[in-house]
Structure 1
Amino acid sequence: MSRIFGKVCQNGYVVRDIEAAMNHWITVMGVGPWFYIEDVKTDWFRHRGRDSDARMSIALANSGDLQIELIQPRNDAPSMYKEFLDAGHEGLQHMSYWTEDYQGLYDKALALGYRVGHEGCIGGEKGRFAYFDTEAHPGTVIEISDISGTKGRTFAHIRKVAEGWDGSDPIRIIR
């Protein structure tokens, strides 16, 4: 439990081959089903304060209460995901904390001296997310994510489906 952000809700892995990563989690780890978005549409995305046309694929699954996110950058536009891969890393890149008071947590983090590495929005005003520039070593980036809107309901659905998953239909495409 973080005294600043609360409980970790998601571990995010940046990968070079998202299909191979999903297959690993399914066959070796037994985790699924995966909800896969091949071409994520962001409302807006900024990297280090500048607009970026970062494109990515993501896949989401749960292991108990912990959501696992796989992210594959799909272009060379600036993002912390691309920086991670360019540094020769692959794997755990961030831990995400979820909130229904996004602006309050965002403002608190900035007041404590955290700096935004990249941020964006998916699915409207209540779909904001920010990654703080906290990577002292790989896997230590902090993300905060607004779950007060559609995203929160989607995450709850993914968790519920994972609870009773029997191994069938392991990759579910979201368009």
Structure 2
Amino acid sequence: MSQIYGPMIQQGYIVPDLQAGMAHWLARGVGPWYVIPPFSLDALHYGKPTVCRITAAFACSGDQQIELITPLEGSGPSVYSDFLAANPEGGMQHLASWCDDVDAKLEQLAADGVDFVVAQRYPGSHAYLDVAGSPGVMIQLMPTIQRYMDLYNVGVSESAAWDGTTRPIRVMDWTHPVDVDAL
């Protein structure tokens, strides 16, 4: 557990090819995968407005969520495309921690003297922090909103019950609330 951010519940990987990324993890017995088809999000990238166009997939190994993100053509600047520019084969880009109030946490971190930059922020949602004096993976503050918690909880329970072969890849409609019964 991080004494600054709390328990890390997710490993986030940026990958150039989502299918290849899922195949990598499936070959290691991690699944099933929940794929979110391409979508766009308004964001602030180092304080400047941008639109991120991505696709993503989620699976769990125990209580650790694995997230794969692929930035897509037509996307504006993002922490995802920045990462792939520096690491063309992809890799771990962030660790995420649950956060009840992202704005309050950012204020607390600043008051505590944590040296960070908000690399990317989704208004009303999560934030990616780059710790200025300590290079490495970013920290994602993941808000405890119901759709994120539902996705996490479904992933944990489904991975525990998964037989390793049945429906290894499942597609979600992220434009609507997570229907946990339909997964």
TM-score bracket relative to the smaller structure: 0.7 to 0.9
Pair 1:165 & 2:162 matched = yes
Deviation at 1:36, TM superposition (A): 0.3
For residues 99 and 157 of structure 2, what CA distance do their matches in structure 1 show?
Answer: 19
In structure 2, how many angstroms separate the alpha carbons of the residues matched to 1:16 and 1:142? 21
SS in 1 for 2:95: strand
Identity of aligned residues (%): 34
Contact 2:40 2:52 (8 Å CA) reproduced: no
Considering only aligned residues, what root-mean-square deviation do their CA atoms show, in Å? 1.7
Is 82-91 or 4-13 further displaced after alignment? Answer: 82-91
Q: Using the alignment, how far apart are the partners of 1:152 and 1:40 within structure 2?
A: 20
Runs (5+) with no aligned partner, structure 2: 174-183
Q: Secondary structure at the match of 1:81?
A: helix
Q: In the alignment, is the contact (CA less than 8 A) between 2:45 and 2:78 conserved in 1?
A: yes
Residue number in structure 2 paired with 1:98: 98
Is contact 1:101–1:148 with CA below 8 Å preserved after alignment?
Answer: no
The residue type equivalent to 1:54 in the other structure is C
1:41 Cα deviation after fit:
4.0
Question: Which structure shows the bigger proportion of residues in strand conformation?
Answer: 2
2:143 is the counterpart of 1:146: yes
Q: Is the 8 A contact 1:106 1:144 kept in 2?
A: no
Native 8 Å contact 2:40 2:51 kept in 1: no
Question: How far apart are the structure 1 equivalents of 2:40 and 2:154?
Answer: 20
Partner of residue 69 from structure 2, selected from 71, 75, 97? 71
Residue 40 of structure 1: how far off its partner (Å): 3.0
Q: Which amino acid aligns with 1:58?
A: A
Aligned-residue offset at 1:108: 1.6
TM-score normalised by structure 1 residue count: 0.88
